[in-house]
Structure 1
């Protein structure tokens, strides 16, 4: 795909061919991993939680930001052209985090909202490891 490509009516087959060509070159498992890392980084960046290590890993994986934006835009157009499987939808909801995370993989980050009282700490869900903010299920029976 040319970096400066602009979608035009009737280019559906060309864009789908580029996607298939890219998926074949990358291997599907690496394509899935890259997409999950991209989604995880985007969630962390939007939440203001992306670390320097995560930003560097993202830039190494996707060195050309303009090309990435173009590819994302064209990929989103294909959702209307080609049918998306349930497995693809499910996969798209599982972000992955590349690099050290503030939550250390637990899904929760301790945050102090009152600088005058450092003991007033709250837990905030990690946008990359726990984007829905689900609390862990308690183990055991309580009476």
Structure 2
């Protein structure tokens, strides 16, 4: 993914694109914008939606849909863990490798959100559902179990609790008990 842009220019028309912007979640749109020729200082205004859509398609074509979906899921998982202040150094490093230009990533996320909120291009239900499935890159504090044991007061062991991992278990779902018939 390009981390710098030397000059502003509109995205070229892409031949044989077999998907549309509506097929992409908001996170996938952000990743695609990051990988596109989007200028860092671009500000969306009425009438620029087609330019933004072209950049999204350009970035998606550059990455391919599989990598686009995967990168967006990793970015979402990282965001959930970062908001809970539970990222590990390994996860921080993986995120920085995936999106080395933090300013460009921030701009791509903001532009994708603005583009989505303006509603000129609806989002398919499959894209919405896919956008809510995080992936975690690297070792996680929960060890992949979906639960993180913590103690609020080290002097009082009764305050120990298991909290759901936002990256592996964002809904906080408890495993179902096994019933042997």
Q: What is the correspondence of 1:88-127 to structure 2 with a 5 Å cutoff?
A: 88-118=127-157, 120-127=159-166
* 1:46 partnered with 2:83: yes
Q: What is the correspondence of 1:1-143 to structure 2 with a 5 Å cutoff?
A: 1-79=38-116, 80-118=119-157, 120-140=159-179
| SS in structure 1 at match of 2:123 | coil
- RMSD over aligned Cα, in angstroms? 1.4
Tell me how far apart the structure 2 counterparts of residues 85 and 97 of structure 1 sit (CA, whole Å). 24
Tell me how far apart the structure 2 counterparts of residues 49 and 12 of structure 1 sit (CA, whole Å). 36
Tell me how far apart the structure 2 counterparts of residues 39 and 84 of structure 1 sit (CA, whole Å). 17
TM-score, structure 1 length as denominator? 0.94
TM-score, structure 2 length as denominator? 0.75
Q: Deviations over 1:57-108 (max 9, x none)?
A: 0000011111111111111223212110011001011000001001011100
- How much has 1:119 moved relative to structure 2? 6.6
Tell me how far apart the structure 1 counterparts of residues 151 and 69 of structure 2 sit (CA, whole Å). 36
Q: Deviations over 1:18-46 (max 9, x none)?
A: 00000000001101111111110010011
Q: Between Structure 1 and Structure 2, how many residues are aligned?
A: 142
Tell me how far apart the structure 1 counterparts of residues 176 and 132 of structure 2 sit (CA, whole Å). 20
| SS in structure 2 at match of 1:123 | strand
| SS in structure 2 at match of 1:81 | coil
| SS in structure 2 at match of 1:136 | coil
- How much has 1:141 moved relative to structure 2? 5.5
